[in-house]
Amino acid sequence: MADFWIDTHSHLDAPEFDPDRAAVIARAREAGVRQVVVSVMPSTFEAARQAAIDCDGAYALGSHPLFIHKVGTDAPERLRDALQRWRDDPRLVAVGEIGLDGFVPEIQDEASREKQDVLYAAQLAVAQEAGLPVILHVRRTADQLLKHLRRMKAEGRAVPGGIAHAFNGSEQQAEAFVELGFCLGFGGAMTFDRALQIRRIAAWLPEDRLVLETDSPDIPPHWLYKTAEARAQGERSRNEPAQLPRIAETMAELRGWDLGKVRKVTAENACSVLPKLKLLLASMR
């Protein structure tokens, strides 16, 4: 697996890539990056799957908490139906992006928080039924996410691990995810000198729990970042999977590794925590 960089979190199907998706895919291939395309709601399931086919990568299906007001109460059942329909597709490797968001103001009222919680719990149950790992949205919500994971484990219904995407919690929370079989995802945010907590955890975490991601087109690294003033003037920054090897240079610096070791370790970890991804990549060799 060390022949590839693995971007464990790409939104290649996002509209930001509509003008030049083929060129984005070509640049990723040139950089040696394989992608896990992560969906955000049932209406994007087909697009995420097609994007994974187009880039010769993998995909995950789920409803993101930021889209709770765009999905119906049938979202968990639609997820279950999709997992059943594509259960034999080797590219389907996880349930995601699911989770909870404690940052975006529009979904912090009591009703929205409750809806997030119900949707997350229901999708965890669907993932457990399907025997698939989960890719979690973790933003100021690590303790709540862990509470549900621990409850399911206590009930004998533990999900088979997964990835805590764009992790930005404490060392104690990082340890708790690791104990539950999760890897932590590191991407563009890690490249900022001021991201002290993220960089500290990226340097400290056991090496078998590190994976890389871009969250394309979001979370640009520092060299693509646009200030609020620039954004107000219409400038936009767009991350893409081809940036992953350069993002990995930061992890190499933080851990005192060469890039070859970063690629090998993070690719092996991605394949370990997403077992179907390992089988998929092995079939491509």
Annotated binding-site members for a divalent metal cation: 9, 11, 97, 137, 165, 215
Return the structure tokens found at 32: 């040696």
Distances, alpha carbon 206 to alpha carbons 85, 113, 181, 202, 203, in Å:
37, 33, 12, 9, 9
Query: Are the CB atoms for 117 and 100 separated by under 8 Å?
Result: yes
Quote the strand ranges of the chain, DSSP E: 5-10, 33-38, 58-61, 92-101, 134-139, 162-165, 182-186, 210-212
Binding site, residues? 9, 11, 97, 137, 165, 215
Peptide bond into 97 cis (omega under 30): yes
Place of tokens 């930021």: 66
DSSP-derived 3-state class of residue 99: strand
In degrees and rounded to multiples of 5, residue 33 shows phi and psi of: -105, 125
Parallel/antiparallel/unpaired status of strands 182-186 and 134-139:
unpaired
User: Cα(22)–Cα(3) distance, rounded to whole angstroms?
Assistant: 22
Distances, alpha carbon 249 to alpha carbons 21, 95, 199, 217, in Å:
25, 29, 12, 19
The three-point CA angle 272-274-277 to 5° equals 100
Query: Are the CB atoms for 49 and 255 separated by under 8 Å?
Result: no
